[in-house]
Homo-oligomer: A and B are copies of this chain.
Amino acid sequence: MLVEVRERIDAIDRQIQALIAERARWAHQVGKAKGPLKAAVDYYRPEREAQVLRQVLDRNDGPLSDEVLLRVFREIMSACLAQQEPLKVGYLGPEGTFSQQAMQKHFGHSAKGLPLASIEEVFQEVEAGHADFGVVPVENSGQGTIQSTLDMFLASPLKICGEVELAVHQHLLSRSGRLEDIERVYSHPMSLAQCKAWLRQHLPKAEKIPVASNAEAARRARGADDAAAIAGENAGHVYGLKTVAGPIEDRPDNATRFLVLGRELFPGSGHDRTSLLVYVRDQPGALYAVLSPFARHGVSMNRIESRPSHTGRWQYAFFIDVSGHVEDAAVASALAELGEYAADVRVLGAYPVALL
């Protein structure tokens, strides 16, 4: 029985391997008409990758989860690209940061990651062409927008050509798994903050004890019957703790969002987002007027964030994310009208919406 199953798996592996090699050869054909291409960056098309991965998800009827299957296909695409000089992607280092995770989630492990010391440096290295792309955090759901990232766009010519989301889920873990036993809750201060409302409602009397990391919290909770930890579910598996409740973060969409920076705009993938930088004169009703073209053309706005413009000439700069690609008719029409109301409009990027 075991031998037979293994022979079947071997046969499947032979077929998969032959198909991956064939895929790699075809991928190498893409764009050849454009002339001699040498590096992966010449072949990389984010809109196409997003389409391929969306098809993979649409087709998935098990047994593997969407998340696991996406990871495998991301690696296959990453491998096919790495036939040429691999993609070089700068990220906010050091190694082991969420930015590195986001980079690897988006580009796979056959891309070459470059840990950099600051968000500024990521912009610089991409601008100078030393990195093909960059990955920087732009939003922690706990802390809100990372202003310093947005501000970089005020002076940088770079384009946003992708976004990545890393989900962060918090669970309450304890040895017994019973809420009524808990008198102390250990966790990293950030995680305690993310679950503040839940704790106030369900454990108003428990002592909240900040520790260096959620793993440390789980280790402590393992040692006592009246203690619990707030940590990822994974820590529960590892430390033999039971889940008392989860996810317990106050914002159910708790995630960190990253932007992928590049030097050019890519075509639409069919499910995209456009990021705009809009300068508005300081006069009554100006912002309202600026937003009206989107409403008129049925373009939904996902985010708006005002910043001092630093130019002195205009009082305000607005970072606005809208649904759709800048080439889509509705977005293009809204942008054309926007020009009448705004002092200046820059398209920061148009890119596929993050998948998972």
Contacts and interface: CB of A to CB of B under 8 A. Distances in A.
A69 B15 CA distance: 14
A83 B64 contact: yes
A175 to B, nearest CB: 12
Contact of A1 (B1, B14, B33, B60): B33
Contacts of A130: 238-240
A56 interface: yes
A63 B28 CA distance: 10
A137 to B, nearest CB: 16
Contact of A14 (B8, B21, B59): B59
Contacts of A65: 82
Contact of A21 (B6, B64, B94): B64
Interface in A144-169: none
Nearest to A23: B12
Interface stretch (A110-118, A256-264, A340-348): A110-118
A73 interface: yes
A247 interface: no
- The prevalent SS among residues of A at the interface is helix
Contacts of A285: none
Given A56-B17, A96-B97, A110 B12 contact: no
A95 interface: yes
How many chain copies?
A: 2
A63 B83 contact: yes
Interface in A57-105: 59-65, 68-69, 71-73, 75-76, 79-80, 82-83, 85, 88, 90, 94-97, 100
A181 interface: no
A114 B60 CA distance: 29
A328 interface: no
B23 A9 contact: yes
Interface of A: 1-2, 5-6, 8-10, 12-17, 19-31, 33, 48, 52, 55-56, 59-65, 68-69, 71-73, 75-76, 79-80, 82-83, 85, 88, 90, 94-97, 100, 109-110, 112, 114-116, 125, 128-131, 215, 234-235, 237-240
17 contacts: A10-B52, A12-B22, A13-B23, A13-B55, A13-B56, A16-B19, A17-B69, A21-B61, A28-B63, A64-B82, A68-B79, A71-B110, A90-B238, A112-B238, A114-B235, A129-B240, A130-B240
